[in-house]
Structures are given as C-alpha cells and as structure tokens.
Amino acid sequence: MRKKRNWIEILTECKDSVQTKIKPLLKTLDRPQSSSGVGAGGDPIRDIDLTAEKAIVDTLKGKKIDFTLISEESGIVKYGDNSFECYVTTDPIDGTTNLLRGAPFYATSIAVSEQPFLRAIQAGIVADLFHGTAYTAEEGVGAYRDGHKISSSPRVSVEEGVIGLDLNSYRIKELAPKLTALMAEAKHLRHFGANALELCYVADGTIDAFIDIRGKLRTTDVAAASLIIREAGGILTTPEGRSLDAKLDPKQKVEFIAAANEEVHQRILRLISG
C-alpha cells in the first residue's frame, strides 16, 4: 500500500479473473460436488472456492504485488519479500451454498489495507458474480456500483423499510428474545444468503438495514463491504452501537448492525436492546 496503486482497477481485474476461472465449473453444478477439507474459516472448501481464490492470488502476483493474503479458504499466507506492506482480505465466494444450489445470489469480496484491521481498509470490491454487478469503494472517495456513485437510503421507518436479518444459527432460541420486538415491528424481513452482497444492498439503498448478531460471521465476509457502507453514508456498528472494528483474520467473528441512516440505526438499537 506504500506504493501508489490504482486499487480499484486491480481489484476489478481480480473480479474479472474470478468470473473467467469459475465459469467452466458453473456448468458442472448438477454433479456431486467434492469437498477439499475445511477452510481456515471453518467451512467446507469446494473446488470452486479454491479456483476463485487462486484467480485473485495469480492476478496480484502477476502485478508484482507483495501482500499478505487473509482468506476464508487458505488462511493467512505471505507472498513476496515485502508481504507486510499490504493485506488482501477475501472471501473468494461469498454464498457458496447459493451458488451450488443454483440460487442467483453469490459474490466475491476483496479488501485491501495497510494493517490487518477493519478500520484500516482503504479499498474494496464486492462483485455479484451472477448478475455481473460490482460494488467498489476507496477511503474518502465514495462508494460506487458499476462506476456510478451510490448512497444509502434516506428512509427512516423500520416498519415500512426492508430489513435484512440473518437467523441461521443454532443459537436461535437464545437470540430470539432479543429480536422479537424488531420482528414484530418490521413488515419486510429478508435474508438472501450472501452477507457481503447483502451489506452492499444497504449501501445502495436496496434495503434499509441488515442485522447479524449471531457471532458467526467472519471479518473476511464483511471486510470490503464495511468500507462500501461507510463510503455510501451508511452506518455499521456493534449491536451495542460502537463503531465496528476487529482484526482481519478468518477465525475472527463479528456481530453488527448495518443501517442506511442514523434514525433507522437508533430505532434498531432500541428494539434489540429490549
């Protein structure tokens, strides 16, 4: 990162390479899919995950970039003599289950930082691999969807808003009491199954908030999207309302509230705090 680079251009090339490399594999999804063990993040690794990760790594190596990879699949891997100068945090395929089942909602997520913390992310991309839409952001420059500047929704009503809520957890009996008031007020609850992309839907105003208090999601899932939301004018905090920050590591878990604006954010905080 100390060398000035056009990171959006580079990340877009990474995204293009991922799309190209996984394309042949998309034609074989009707066949039984083997697992290549368990990734650093704890989930089963599929061939398509490793193919996507390799596409990202090969693109960066082709640019003669030294970097430390922080990946949901391979974990933390150093490339080059000056690997400490640049951290590349990725979930190569966010929404692998959707992809394998043919549900059209999955993405690749890549973030770049000088330090391995969420607060230090300086550039990121989340690319919808089915529809071909790419969300990008650079610190202080704004957030974009396919090159057009985006901003989060001005809607202030939780009742009338579209609210994302991830309930995929064995802890649901424990979490349900915290969420009952929110679920009673919000008329339009959603969850699409690729959290990085769903966070970008908050950034561009497609939905008004996204809540995940399971303690299950990893920083590799939210790294790029966290910058995109902030640059779009949205808010991303812990469930207690503190600014969200955490170490970039495939084993590091986070809980969060992502909201389009302060009014929605404060209302959700009140609803889930009881």
Spatial CB neighbours of 272, under 8 Å, sequence gap ≥ 6: 178, 179, 181, 182, 211, 213, 239, 257
Q: Which pLDDT value is given to residue 44?
A: 67
- Report the C-alpha gap between 185 and 190 in whole angstroms: 14
Residue pLDDT, tens place only, 58-77: 999 999 999 999 998 899 99
Mean pLDDT, the chain, integer? 93
By DSSP bridging, strand 87-94 and strand 121-128 are unpaired
Give the model's confidence band at 273: pLDDT under 50 very low, under 70 low, under 90 confident, else very high: confident
Query: pTM, whole model, 2 decimals?
Result: 0.93
Residue pLDDT, tens place only, 218-229: 999 999 999 999
Residue pLDDT, tens place only, 84-141: 999 999 999 999 999 999 999 999 999 999 999 999 999 999 999 999 999 999 999 9
Given CATH 3.30.540.10, say whether it is the number of domain 7-149. yes
Q: Which helix (H) or strand (E) holds 198?
A: helix 195-203
Name the percent of the chain lying above pLDDT 70: 93
Give the model's confidence band at 146: pLDDT under 50 very low, under 70 low, under 90 confident, else very high: very high
AA identity, residue 237:
T
CATH class of 162-273: alpha beta
Domains 7-149 and 162-273 share a fold: no
Phi/psi for 206 (5° steps) reads -65, -40
